[in-house]
Every structure is written in C-alpha cells, then in structure tokens.
Structure 1
Amino acid sequence: MELTFAAAVTSSALLVSNLASILLAAWRLKPRHVIAPPASKQPAVSIVVPLRGVEAFTRETLQRAFSLDWPRYELIFCVAQGEDPVIKLVSAAIARYPKVPARLLIGDDRISANPKLNNCVKGWQAARNDWVILADSNVLMPKDYVQHLLAAWRPDTGLVCSTPIGSRPDGFWAEVECAFLNTLQARWQYAGEALGLGFAQGKSMLWNKPLLDGNGGIHALAAEIAEDAAATKLVNGLGLKVNLVAAPFEQPLGQRRLAEVWSRQARWARLRRVTFPQFFAPEVLTGLAAPLLLALIAAASAGVSLPATALCVLAIAYLPECLLASSKGWYLSPRSITAMIMRDALLPAIWARGWFGGAVDWRGNAMTIRAKAMTELEEGA
C-alpha cells in the first residue's frame, strides 16, 4: 500500500509540474505579430552570421537576412575556411542586395574549442555598431527580426535571445526534432524565464557591444565550451537578466535521420551536464518515462487496468503540449504525438549519455567535452 501511494503521488506530482511548465510557457509566450518598422531614428545594428557548409535552407535564410525592416543594419558573414562552398552563395547574395551593407570575412580565430565562437570572433571585432546580434545561419529571420529582439531589452537586461522553433520537418525523425525543440526545450526555457531563471540560447543573441567589451569582450564567452552557457553566467554575474523574445524565431529543419537527432541531442546534453550540472540532473524527470513508469507501478499494485492507466497518463501529458503548439502556431501533424512519445523514449538514454565522456560530433568536429570547458578537439571529415 505504501508503495502504491508513493508511486501514485510522485507520478501525479511530475505530471502536475509538466502541466505547470506548459501553463507558464503559454503565459510568457505571445502570439506572433508583426512589429512595424520604427518611425523615429533607431540605433544601427550589426548582425554577425557564422556559416559552415551549404544546408537545405541556406539560400532562403540568406535572402531573409537581406530583407529586414530595419533602417540601419549591417551584415557580417563569417566563414572559417576559404574553400567552404557557402562562400559562393554569400558572395552572390551580397552582390544581389547592394543597398544592404554586408561583408564576408574568412579566417579562424582559435580562442576556444567551440568552432562557432571561433568563427564569430572576427565578425565581433569588425562590427561597427553598439548593438550586435550573433545569429546562427539556419535562423529564418522574419522581417521584424531586429524589432523583436530590441523590444525584449529592459533596463536590467544583459542579453536577449530566442530559442529555435523547429518548422518544415520532412519525415518522422524531423518531427521528433520538432518535439524536442518546441514543446519540450522551448517550453521549459520560457517557463524558466517566467520563474526568473533566464538561460541564454545561442541561436540569436542580442548584445550591447560596450557592455560585453567592458567585461572581457567576445573572448569572455570562451570561459565555457558552450558560448550560451558562458553568456548566461557572465550576465548573471553582472546582476543582469537574460530575456527571451516574446515570440521565438523559426529554424526550418528539412530532413533528419535518427543518427542526426541523437548526435545533436547528445551533444547538447553533454554541454548542459558540464556547464549547469545542478539543472541537468533533474532533466530525466521532464519527459514522460518517469511519471508513466510510476503510474504503472501504482496501477499494478492497486489492480487497475494498465492500458487504461497508460492512456490516461499519455492524455494528461500530451494534449496540453499539443494545445500549446497549436495556440502558438508551432508545427503540428497527425504524427506529432507519436513523435513526442519517441522523444520521451529517447530522453533517458540521452540524459544518461550526458553523464559520460566520449566523443560527440559538432559540425564535423569530433569533440570530447569535459568539465570547465576542458576539451579535446580534432577536425572531422
């Protein structure tokens, strides 16, 4: 009887916390709306975009970057290797949009084991404006991209970010990636911000350049293997906050394979493990595996139907997730619940992988991630 009660109470508590995180995220997130271009004079902005290789949506993301409704901005594209095929696409885009100030910088500044951060150094140093956005190349910028980032800046802000919202999945494993990015990771990040625990996300980062330069510059982001973890600690150390945009930006996914989903999620898990172990430890409880297992143990002890119990737990967990995605205009399909189930089946294995060493892949680099940014890195194929 005690086991039945303890399992039932714990399962219920986990399901309630899951629902609470969805409600917090739904309250914090705002419906997507277009912010008009500024009528009065606004600050000039530099947008630094690190690139490596040509991806499925590279042409479209480049076109979006040149089509922003902001009166004064410059684009600084950064590529580490001179033979990278993406250089031709960037050069063609710069020629196609001569009215938008844009530069292509090639070279690699090895300040850390983080290849993206190394690629951004030259762009940061070349930026001419006090407001600088570090934007991943696969972010699908809306026309009001700059407006949304600046609108989230407050007097006590040290950094504004946006989580990636997966869109345009092609195939089941891409839908699993959407389930990871949207109604799990973005949801918990917005719930955390609502509770005063804002974490940086490296997809889109708006910095006040004098603020960061006055506290170590971009080199300060090499203090951790992940630049967003270093950014979070730096901003919090200054007594400032990390804010998220009210409506996050899209990352179109295209096709994904299981190996790609596993590799990416395992890398992120390992990074979170070495940078924020106190928050990573309870992550295994955020999926459905723990509450479902405990509910089945309680049902078996009490003589309740196991299939009925499982269906009840699935409904309590996944229907609110679907409602959150629907209300915010995020991707949903008839396979979304199946993708969520697969995501939550993978979560315990990914969480366990986060506690162990061994190489993970980071954009073609084989990397062994250790605590306090101590890494071994060798170029991959």
Structure 2
Amino acid sequence: MITITDFCSQYELLFSVPDDYDPAILVVKSLIESYPKVDAKLFIGARDVGSNGKINNMVRPYEAAKFNNIVISDTGIKTTPTTLREMVSCLKPDVGLVLQMPYCAPRKGFGAVYQQVYFGTMQARNCLSANACNINCSTGMSCLLRREVLDQAGGLAPFGKYLAEDHFIAEGIRKQGYKVVLSTLPALQNSGNCGISDFHKRLVRWAKLRMTLLPTLILLEPLGESVIQGAAASLAAGYLLDISPLAFFIGHLLIWFLSDYILLRIVQNGPLPFSKFEFLAAWLFRETMAPYILIQGHMTTHVMWRDRKYRVKWGGEVERIPELGETIEDKVEKFSADSGNVATQRSSKKMVEVLNCVAVTS
C-alpha cells in the first residue's frame, strides 16, 4: 500500500506493510536508499482497528501523514505520469474525494482479456451511470481525498469494521457536504494474477457485499443483466406483440454487444489490445456467467479476501473467521516462498512508477 500526500509543491511517499515478513520490505528499503532526496518512509506492522486488513495496514501512515491531500493507491495499481495531475485537477473546493474508475492494464492471456472486458463494460456502465445520478459508486483501488474532511467523519480507523470501506468512506465524506467525483483516467489494475477462478471469487465477494449493503439490489441487479433482461423482454414481446422471442432475443443481445464494444473503446481511449474475436468470446463468457455469480453470492455464507475468511453482516460490517495455522512460523515459511515472486517485483515497479509520476506532476 502506498500513500502519496500533497504532491503539488511538496509530497511524501508512505509505504505500509502488515508485518516483518512481507517480501516487499527489502525492495522498498533498497529503493528508498536509491532515492535519498525523496521523502519516503516505510511503516512495518498493522494496527488492529477492525476486521479490515487494508484499513489496519493504512492507519499508521494515515495518522503520520504531513499533508492534507492524500492519495491511497493499492500496490497492484499501475501509476502513469499523468495520474496524479489529473486527479488533483478534479479536486475542486466542493470536492472531498476523487475516485478512479477501476479498469485493467493490458496483460497476456484470456483471463486478462476477460477481466478487462468486465471492468470496461459492466463495471464501467454501472459506475458511470451511478456517478451521473449522484449514487455512491466508490472503489478504493486508487483515490484522492482531503484528510481534514475524512477526519470530520472520524478519520480512517472507524472504517476498519467494514470490508467495503471504500463505500463507507465515500458516504462519510458526502455527509460532510462534499462531492465525490470520478477522475477521467481509470485505475489500471496490473496484478500478475489473471486466473479466472480467482477473479470469480472476487466477483462473488463483491456480489455478497452489495447484497448486504443494499438489499434492494437482490431484486434489481439481476434485471440489469443482458441475458435475464433479454429473456424476460423476449417472452413479453412474443406474448404482447406476436414477435418471435428468439429473433427478439438475438436482436437484444446484438444491440447490447455493440453498445458494450463502444463503451469499452471509450474507456480504453484507443484501439483495444486484443482482437474482436477475443472480445466476443470474453463478452459472451461474462454475460452467461453473470447469473451464476449472483447465485453464488446468495448461496455463500462467508467471503474470502486475501486468503482470509469473513462473515458479512447486514449493513456492511464483517467479522473475521480465524483459520487454523495462522502462526508466526507460517508467515516465515510464506515469506521464504514469496521472497522472489511477482509481488516483490511489482512493489519495485510500483515505487518507480510513482516516483516518475510525482516528478512529472511537480
């Protein structure tokens, strides 16, 4: 986790890892030594303020931050040279939080294409429409906030009891009379894990959280899916207008497909990094899997997040379900196995990207 504060004329980089066994520690220390003129600090050790491990990891650097404007950026987010400048330009006097709409950086494999299509179509459609209607659509992957405003809502620590802390942070800022807006640049997820199975677990977790936060979505969300909506509309058209249900359904999917393709091109802001056939395959897979994801969200009694199990309560609060084997010895073994993996390399790339970004912005 990296926190960047007050990057217009002065800035600092605050890195935070949960414990002494995180493989990113050696990389961050090495890079801090390589850039001695950069005001950067590494915080080791989380403070337990709730069940949310991300909030626990951020509380210490948040409280130690020198400046009022704070960017929270997940390690897996790719930072471009124009990211910070664009986010700062959106921070008007009446704005308390600037969000980046989640998207994906180009990666290899069908799983990467599938994720990019998901975030560039379904997720983008929901996020943009909710923002246009002044509905909370917050995602915490990459955001810029005013610390003084969040402090009026109690600071960062009170949100540790929620797994969807981004939603409640945005609500806390909105209650202070400030706007929450979207940056024109999306957050580019750049994780090395493009597995479809792991991605589906994320979707099931999000579906479960949405249902507990906004129970009305239990009925409304399925109606927003192309297959379910198309099937219902086709039956109605056949009964009321004597139109072939199959022909109506095919026309419905074609219009939806073309609309999603146009939206994805807009989000990508240029040619797609994959073929039209790959887009078609990923789009069909996404649309046909959507009902399955929703059903799984209903059926699951808990959610998994970063290899940890949580029980979600109505209203958004979560309770950590401890598992066997969570000992220091396990962490040492995991550190030894992960010390040379992709996560370590990603931490190195992340700091270099941020340093380049801050240099351009300043």
How high is the TM-score relative to the length of structure 1? 0.76
Residue aligning to 2:263: 324
Cα-Cα RMSD:
2.5
Residue aligning to 2:295: 352
Identify which of 210, 215, 232 aligns with 2:153: 215
| Residue segments in structure 1 that go unaligned for 5+ positions in a row | 1-47, 51-64
Report 1:202-351 matches (<5 A): 202-222=140-160, 224-279=162-217, 281-298=219-236, 302=242, 304=244, 306=246, 308-329=247-268, 331=272, 332-334=274-276, 335-351=278-294
Cα distance in 1 between the residues matched to 2:22 and 2:57: 13
Question: What is the identity percentage for the equivalent residue pairs of Structure 1 and Structure 2?
Answer: 27
- Per-residue CA deviation, residues 88-134 of structure 1 (Å, 9 max, x unaligned), is 22222222222221111110111111111111111101111111111
Give the CA deviation at 1:136: 0.8
Residue aligning to 2:349: none
2:30 is the alignment partner of 1:89? no
Cα 1:361–1:198 shift into 2, 3 Å: closer
Give the CA deviation at 1:337: 2.2
- Amino acid of the residue matched to residue 262 of structure 1? H
SS in 2 for 1:345: helix
Cα distance in 2 between the residues matched to 1:175 and 1:313: 23
- Per-residue CA deviation, residues 188-244 of structure 1 (Å, 9 max, x unaligned), is 111211122242210112121122123211123235331112112212322322111
Cα distance in 1 between the residues matched to 2:249 and 2:217: 28
- Amino acid of the residue matched to residue 151 of structure 1? S
Cα distance in 2 between the residues matched to 1:70 and 1:222: 29
Residue aligning to 2:321: 377
Cα distance in 2 between the residues matched to 1:98 and 1:144: 23
SS in 2 for 1:168: coil
Cα 1:281–1:126 shift into 2, 3 Å: farther
Cα 1:117–1:69 shift into 2, 3 Å: closer
Give the CA deviation at 1:71: 4.4
Report the number of matched residues. Answer: 317
Report 1:166-177 matches (<5 A): 166-177=104-115
2:186 is the alignment partner of 1:186? no
- Per-residue CA deviation, residues 19-59 of structure 1 (Å, 9 max, x unaligned), is xxxxxxxxxxxxxxxxxxxxxxxxxxxxx628xxxxxxxxx
Moved more, 155-164 or 313-322: 155-164
Higher relative contact order (CA 8 A, sep 6+): 2
2:144 is the alignment partner of 1:144? no
Cα distance in 2 between the residues matched to 1:129 and 1:117: 19
Moved more, 108-117 or 345-354: 345-354
Cα 1:359–1:312 shift into 2, 3 Å: same
Cα 1:99–1:229 shift into 2, 3 Å: same
Cα 1:311–1:243 shift into 2, 3 Å: same
- Amino acid of the residue matched to residue 266 of structure 2? S
Report if the CA contact (8 A) 1:112-1:225 is conserved: no
SS in 1 for 2:120: helix
Residue aligning to 1:362: 305
Cα distance in 1 between the residues matched to 2:124 and 2:267: 12
SS in 2 for 1:180: helix
Report if the CA contact (8 A) 1:81-1:108 is conserved: yes
Moved over 6 A (4+): none
- Amino acid of the residue matched to residue 10 of structure 2? R
Identify which of 27, 38, 57 aligns with 1:100: 38
| Residue segments in structure 2 that go unaligned for 5+ positions in a row | 331-362
2:2 is the alignment partner of 1:49? yes
Give the CA deviation at 1:70: 5.1
SS in 1 for 2:190: strand
Cα 1:140–1:209 shift into 2, 3 Å: same
